Homo-oligomer: A and B are copies of this chain.
């Protein structure tokens, strides 16, 4: 476990469940990504964890921000970000949110339908817009396909339309899926982007930017490729398709920046064979799918777990949450093994839980209050 968080947990007998996030680790992750691809601008995906100490740190590092809502834009501005550092990246925006963002001088907006373009034309006249392309999400543990993005043909039409409507057709975006473990996923997406760039250039519209979205993986239950494998593939692919005129590159990492900076400390409420001589024990934690671990749906994201008995004999376990809800089971098919000694009252740590935990947490399902958060 992260030594700073380990020390903090040992020094403070915190009420569980709680999330502890190491801000220094976030800085390290940011610098690492910046170092791997210095030509790209990093727009932190605020939705991964919008806590103020994270925003504050990233502002000191001159990060940009990808916001999913007016509320997230407001958080960034309140933390001291400039409007020019913020992209309104959700393609589904309420008119009131567009109005508020435009009023606050936000310049950059995503879209992927004619209807959204019409809203932007009316409520954010002259804004820089980029069109989201639908791309393959194969290789992603948390895929995003279906809901967002459009075809290259339609994107070309929409960006032409944007120009006609007085907007600034600035570029394209795509998302290869969250926790994407295959670097090659970017190649075909960059090729699609080039198709749009080239088609519009024949109409004297010269796009300037490709937003590569998020998706860089972090280590959970299994190893993932190094970040350099992704950035090298991306840079080679950009050179291949764009030659000497590589556009501005935007990245929107969320998980990559905050994921491994966080640890959830949780207490075992019950550990039982459930009356069976054989088979896995059931271990019930005081955090579950509705307490923040929403990404365990379908056992998609598999957090590493450490305990005070690591190194001793283990056995197979099914892990479940504390609620009366039958679907509140974390890992049943995944082959987790934990020390046999573990019993009710023991604490265990769920590693790499800095992203998408605090915000997914329900307000009060089964009466449980949201998990406490500590930023150190």
Copies of this subunit: 2
- Enumerate chain B residues within 8 angstroms of A148, measured Cβ to Cβ: 324, 326
Total contacting residues, chain A, CB less than 8 A: 77
- Enumerate chain B residues within 8 angstroms of A290, measured Cβ to Cβ: 294, 360
Mostly, the A contact residues are loop
Which residue on B lies nearest to A325, using beta carbons?
Answer: B144
A183 at the interface (CB under 8 A from B): no
Which residue on B lies nearest to A119, using beta carbons?
Answer: B344
Cβ contact within 8 Å between B47 and A272: no
Cβ contact within 8 Å between A272 and B325: no
Cα of A282 to Cα of B91 in the assembled complex, Å = 13
Expressed in whole angstroms, the minimum distance between the Cβ of A15 and any Cβ of chain B is 9
Contact with B along A337-376 (1 / 0, CB 8 A): 0000001110000000000001111111111111000000
Cα of A365 to Cα of B272 in the assembled complex, Å = 34
Which residue on B lies nearest to A272, using beta carbons?
Answer: B113
A193 at the interface (CB under 8 A from B): no
- The 4 A-B pairs with the shortest beta carbon distances in the complex, nearest first, are A144-B326, A71-B367, A154-B275, A72-B367
A residues contacting B by CB (< 8 A) are 46-47, 50, 67-72, 75, 89-90, 92-95, 112-116, 119, 137, 142-148, 150-151, 153-154, 157-158, 177-178, 267, 269-272, 274-275, 282, 284, 286, 290, 294, 297, 320, 322-329, 332, 343-345, 358-370
